[in-house]
Amino acid sequence: MKGYVISVRGQIVVVEFPDEQPEIGDVLHLADDDTAVLEVLSSGKAKTYFCIALRDATKFYRKAPLVNTHDGVKVPVGRDLLGRVINVFGEAQDGQQPLPKMEGRLVRKWQRGGVVVKKEILETGIKVIDVFAPLLKGGKMGLFGGAGVGKTMLLTEILHNVVGKVGRDRYYSVYAGVGERSREGLELWQSLKETGVLPFSSLIYGQMGENPAVRFLSAYAGVTLAEYFRDIEKRDILFFIDNVYRFAQAGNELSVLTGSIPSEDGYQSTLESEMAMFHERLSSTIDGVITSVEAIYVPSDDLLDHGVQSIFPYLDSMLVLSRDVYQEGRTPAVDILGSTSSALSPRYVGDHHYEVVLMARSLLKRAQSLERIVSLVGENELSAEDQVVFRRAKKLKNYLTQPFFTAEGQRGIKGVYVPVADAIKDVNAIISGQHDALDDDVFLYVGKMSDIVHG
C-alpha cells in the first residue's frame, strides 16, 4: 500500500503517503477501483495532501488504499475532435459515436515555444467591434457584462463570422464552456451545426453542475487542445471561453475547500497566478496564432470586482456590455464609450479609421452630457446645435445594432456581415450629417447604409 485516505470532506479527500511522496497534479485512484480518481491539489501537514475527487467522492472512505499513477490529468487531442463535444476526461458529450483512441496531453503542462506577435486586425463583420474595439490577430478580447446582456450570443456570432465566413481554410476554433448552463452549451452546438461551422470546431464543457475541479480543469483542457492544433496541425486558432469569471470562481471554491487563507477581498490568494498561467498559454508561435475571445461575467454589474479586475491586464480589447443599452432594445448591447482596444491606433487601423472613431466618440460623449437635460425638459428645448448632435448620436447608436446569424431562429431576421471598410464609411456619413434627413428608426438592425439608401 503506497497511500491511504485520512478523511473525506465533500469533494476534498485528505490522503497520506508514508513513503514515496506524490507530486502536485498527480492522479491517484483507489487500489481496487481505477474509476475512483483523485488529483493532488496541495500539500497539508507532513506527508499529507489535499486531493480533489474528479468524479464521485462517495467511493472514498477512511483507510482506503490508494495508488499513485505518477501522471497528471490528460485530455485527448487530435483532428478527430473537430465537430465533437467532450468533457475534461475526453468522453463524448454530444450523443454521437464514441471517440477513437487518441494521444493524451497533460492539461496543466505549458507547451512552450517562441512567441510571435502579429499586429494584424482580425475582421469580425460586427460593426461595433470592428469600428470601436477591433480585435488583434493573436490578441485577446474580453466581453464584459452581467447576467443576460448577450455575452454568449456575441461570442457565438464572432465564432460564426470568423470561422464560417472568413477562415474555414485557415482557422480551427476551440470552445471551452466553463461553469455555464448545459442548456447554453446545447444551443451553441445546435447553432454551430445549423450554420456549418461545427466541423471546424471542438467544444469542451465543464458545466455548472460539475464539481469545481472539473470546471477549473476544463479551461486548461481547452487551452491544451488549442496548443495542439497550433503546434501539430500548424493552424491559426480561435479560442473561446465562456466564461473566465467562472474559472476564477472554481479556483476560489477549491481554495475554500482546502482551507487556504483568502485575500482581503475574499478571493483565493493564488488568483493572479492562475490567471497568468491560463492567459500566458494563449500565445502565438511561428507555427500558428491563437486569438482568444473571452466572455467574463460581471457580478452585480460591478467592473471593480477583484475577480473581474484580475483579467484586465491580459486583454488587448475590452468590450463592455451595458444593461441600460440592452433594456433600450439595442443589441449587441455594447457601451461604446466604455469599450476600448489597443489596436485602435493609426499604426494598425490607419489614419482615416482612427480619426472617424475619435469624431464618433466625441459626438457620443457630447450627446451623453445632454441626455439628462432631454429626460427632464425634452429634446425640443435644446439649442439647434445640440439637437443636431443628439439626433446624430441616436442615429449612430441605432446603426451599430446588427442582426446576428446565430439569432436568426429567435428573431426571424436574417443575419448580416458588414465589412469594416463599409462600417467606417457609414459611421463617417452619419456623424458628418449625410443622413440627417432619415428617421432614427431606419438605422435599427440594418447592414450597410447603401442597402437602405439605394434599396
Bond from prior residue into 161 cis (ω within 30 degrees of 0): no
At 160 the three-state DSSP class reads helix
Q: What is the DSSP letter of 202?
A: E
Active site residue 23: no
d(CA 40, CA 253): 15
Catalytic residue, candidates 47, 101, 118, 181: 181
Pairing verdict, β 12-16 and 65-68: unpaired
d(CA 237, CA 171): 5
Q: Identify the CA nearest to 166 among candidates 400, 420, 445.
A: 420
Q: What are phi and psi of 8, to 5 degrees?
A: -125, 120
Catalytic residue, candidates 74, 84, 140, 151: 151
Alpha helix stretches (DSSP H) within 180-309: 182-194, 212-231, 244-257, 271-280, 306-309
Active site residue 425: no
Query: Between helices 271-280 and 244-257, what is the axis angle to 10°?
Result: 140
Q: Identify the CA nearest to 343 among candidates 182, 35, 137.
A: 137
Catalytic residue, candidates 39, 123, 157, 180: 180
Q: Identify the CA nearest to 266 among candidates 251, 247, 244.
A: 251
Active site residue 274: no
Which residues are part of the catalytic machinery?
Answer: 151, 180-181
